[in-house]
Amino acid sequence: MSYKVEEIGNKRIVHLDGEIDMDVADKSRNTILPLIEAGHEVHLNLSKVTYMDSSGISVLIESKKLSEEKKTKFELIEVSKPVEKVIAMARKFL
């Protein structure tokens, strides 16, 4: 997994690329959560993510919960088909 953070005012657009599995979940968590902790609005671009497992879903859930605590915005944008499928399956259980 690789990433790029784009800054636009208080908004941070995090572009993730590749696979998000348990081997790299901490890397994505350590990229996203500090931005939310700092009070930034975070938009997560997942258009180039080719695979996501349950550890990736846990990062999304943690990010959303933290953004609610910090009263800031966390949003998924441009979600790839493989990630859409995983999110759809996870919604059945949430």
Total domain count, the chain: 1
Pairing of strands 2-8, 11-20: antiparallel
What integer is the mean pLDDT of 71-75? 97
pLDDT tens digit sequence for 2-56? 999 999 999 999 999 999 999 999 999 999 999 999 999 999 999 999 999 999 9
Q: What are phi and psi of 63, to 5 degrees?
A: -65, -45
Enclosing H/E stretch for 83: helix 81-91
CATH number for the domain spanning 70: value is 3.30.750.24
Domain hosting residue 82, numbered range: 2-91
User: How many CB atoms are closer than 10 A to CB 47?
Assistant: 13
pLDDT value at 94 more than 70: no
Residue whose token pair is 């990630």: 83
